[in-house]
Structure 1
Amino acid sequence: MGKAISALLLATLLLSACSGNNNEDLAQGSTATAPAATAEVSAAPPEDAAGTIAPSASSSPAPGNGTEATIAPAASAAPGTSTATSPSSEPAAAEIPLLYHMNKNYDIVPNEEGTDKKVVLLTFDDGPKEAEMINALMDTLDKHQAKAIFFVNGYRVKEHPELLKLLHERGGIIGNHSWDHIVLKDKSYAEVKKQIGDVQTIVKEITGEAPAFFRPPHGAGGDVGKQVAAENGMLYMTWSVGSLDWEMKEKDAAKTETLVKNVTDQLHSGSNILMHELPWTTQALDTLLTTLEGKGYSFVDPRSIELKQR
């Protein structure tokens, strides 16, 4: 009897122990499952604003830890586009060959046989004065595909730098006509140097280019004017054909016909024609150029003239 009771008590204790172990295993299983779920969620890559999956920073191995870093490929260019730098749409300025030189009579002469000698050089003195006249002169020159030198005075440029800029932007070739439009031949070297040099400076400040041509006021530069012009790398010139437009008055009749006659009466191959920025010259220019073309003349580009007289 005692043995039976002892056996019954032992069986009860064993059943109780087994029940406790099963509860502990369930608790441990629940605890182990939670980290696994958390790890799975954090491993999922985030989405960017567009809804596409962005690579996780932690998913790629860091360089230097014994593994090779993965380099993302560069974004490909859209079809029809180029990643190369496109060249400037503005063509490089064509270099103008030196085809002519100026002789001792201030005429334009071809450097070689076969170059057209029936040409004239167009020049205008004493500007810049008015935008309206500048535009009208340039419109006429453009119409005839002609270039001209505009010999400017420094004091006028200082008063109206915007006019010089306009003239330059319209394609006028800027020349130096001294600062104050005074007779230079009897002045000191220092004064002539300042009269010419100050114009070089202000023109370059405004246009980026210093003049390459010099004409002394009243055609009177003397040896000192020639010397200073040469020191500044400029071609010294007066003229060989005068339009005499400076002698005309507003009240004079038939100014266009008079100006054209003044030029054509002296006309010859290589004529260096002196005109001025004046209202009647502006009005007469189209008729003059048409007349010259009718006589078989063309208009030399000043940039094709050597800067040394010979």
Structure 2
Amino acid sequence: MSMLILTACNSESASQPTIPSEAEKNEPSKNVQEQNSETEEFIEEKKPKVEEDELKEEVEEVSAAYQVSDDSSIIPIKDEINEDVVLLTFDDAPDKYSLQIAETLKSLDASAIFFVNGHFINSPEGKEQLKKIHDMGFLIGNHTYNHPLLTTISEEKQKEEIVSLNNRIEEIIGERPKFFRAPNGVNTDYSKQVVKEEGMVLMNWTYGYDYFEPYMDKDKLTTAMITGEGPEVDVSYSLLKPGANLLMHDREWTAAALADIIKGLRESGYEVVDPNLILTN
């Protein structure tokens, strides 16, 4: 291209100049104006354009500092990143206490993922709760539409449970979930395939106690979540570790214990990780 331009310039220099008349000297040249306009359009068209998707990918790549490991813990993917973090997650949202939980998290500047069931967002009230939680800055995950055990339903139903919820969530908040957690943490090979096709990251958990009867109590749950120990359900050792993925639910006792749980984890030297920093597909 540069050779062609150079040739054109040399050819123009070699030609005999045309002497303009006095009228041409005093009047703006329409041809020059048109040529300038065309040149500006040409330059504008030739400017490198960054596609929105490429820009988005670059931003995500730069911002991601952690990834979900095979055991669902959160591990750093960059040097000099804090390893002593925990991820807070809440299943079965938004039932009765999710908004209260979100408000507590917000007041303590703590992030989390809310894993949603579709039957909770069929009503106008549930839809509004989900929108409020998302507007507060929390990520929304997929926990299937009706919370079935995936191993007990057909592949067609599995896909419907996952994809229809993604569609419903997108209708409400304007974006599709990036994370998936199966009911009871039980997946099938087919559900894993659907999750991958939907561009989500599969996630289970490291530990959680609020669904065991002995820990349906504010004080007992607080102690169990801070220490990682659940002696009343035969977990006499600590499951708390760097990158622990903590499972909780939309429950009254969980909402009551949450502030103390977060404070206790921080006093133990753990930072609550922002799930926006986790690498997604």
Shift of 1:216: 0.1
Deviation at 1:276, TM superposition (A): 0.3
SS at match of 2:122: helix
Equivalent in 141, 144, 156 of residue 190 of structure 1? 156
Counterpart of 1:301? 274
Q: TM-score, normalised by structure 1?
A: 0.64
The one of 136, 141, 145 equivalent to 1:179 is 145
Partner of residue 102 from structure 1, selected from 68, 72, 81: 68
Question: What SS does the corresponding residue of 1:175 show, helix, strand or coil?
Answer: strand
* Shift in alpha-carbon separation, 1:197–1:106, aligned structure 2, 3 A: same
Q: What displacement does 1:170 show?
A: 2.0
Aligned residue identity for 1:246: Y
The offset of 1:302, in angstroms, is: 0.9
Partner residue in 1 for 2:117:
153
Aligned pair count?
A: 212
Counterpart CA distance in 2 for 1:237 and 1:302 is: 12
Gaps of 5+ in 2: 1-55, 230-237
The Cα shift of 1:177 comes to 0.2
For residues 223 and 148 of structure 1, what CA distance do their matches in structure 2 show? 27
Contact 1:263 1:273 in 2 (8 A): no
Superposition deviation, residue 256 in structure 1: 4.0
Separation in 1, partners of 2:261, 2:216: 20
Larger Rg belongs to: 1
1:124 partnered with 2:124: no
Indicate if the aligned counterparts of 2:226 and 2:265 stay in contact, CA closer than 8 A. no
Distance of 2:186 and 2:141 partners within structure 1: 16
Determine the structure 2 residue equivalent to 1:268: 241
Partner of 1:138, secondary structure, is: helix
Which structure has more helix as a fraction of its residues? 2
Supply the distance in 1 between the matched residues of 2:159 and 2:193 (Cα, whole angstroms).
9
- Greater relative CO, 1 or 2 (CA 8 Å, sep 6+): 2
Q: Is the 8 A contact 1:120 1:298 kept in 2?
A: yes
Q: Give the counterpart letter for 2:242 in structure 1.
A: S
Choose which of 151, 157, 175 in structure 2 pairs with 1:209: 175
Alignment RMSD: 2.1
Cα distance in structure 1, aligned partners of 2:136 and 2:216: 31
Once the two structures are TM-superposed, the CA of residue 187 in structure 1 deviates from its matched residue by 3.0
1:17-36 aligned at under 5 Å gives the runs none
Q: In structure 2, what residue type is equivalent to 1:121?
A: L
Q: Distance in 1 between matches of 2:122 and 2:110?
A: 27
2:224 matches 1:220: no
Q: Which deviates the most, 290-299 or 179-188?
A: 179-188
Supply the AA of the counterpart residue of 1:104: D
Q: Are the structure 2 counterparts of residues 236 and 267 from structure 1 closer, same or farther at C-alpha, using a change threshold of 3 Å?
A: same
- Pairwise CA distance, 1:300: 1.2
Contact 1:259 1:284 in 2 (8 A): no
Question: Quick one: which of 183, 188, 199 aligns to 2:165?
Answer: 199
Letter of the 1:135 counterpart: L
Partner of 2:205: 239
2:94–2:121 Cα contact (<8 Å) kept:
yes
> 2 CA distance for matches of 1:230 and 1:158?
26
- Matched with 1:27 is none
User: Does structure 2 conserve the Cα–Cα contact (< 8 Å) formed by 1:241 and 1:272?
Assistant: yes
> Distance in 2 between the 1:150 and 1:249 partners?
24
Q: Give, as a single letter, the amino acid of the residue that structure 1 aligns with 2:108.
A: H
Deviation, 1:261, is 5.1
Listed as ranges, the gaps of 5+ residues in structure 1 are: 1-92
In 1: Cα distance, 2:153 partner to 2:99 partner: 35
**CA apart distance, 1:249:** 6.9
- Secondary structure of the structure 2 residue equivalent to 1:116: coil
Change (3 A) 1:268 1:252: closer
Please tell me whether residue 142 in structure 1 is matched to residue 81 in structure 2: no
Match of 1:278 among 251, 256, 275: 251
1-structure distance, mates of 2:76, 2:226: 26
Structure 2 residue 80 is matched with structure 1 residue 114: yes
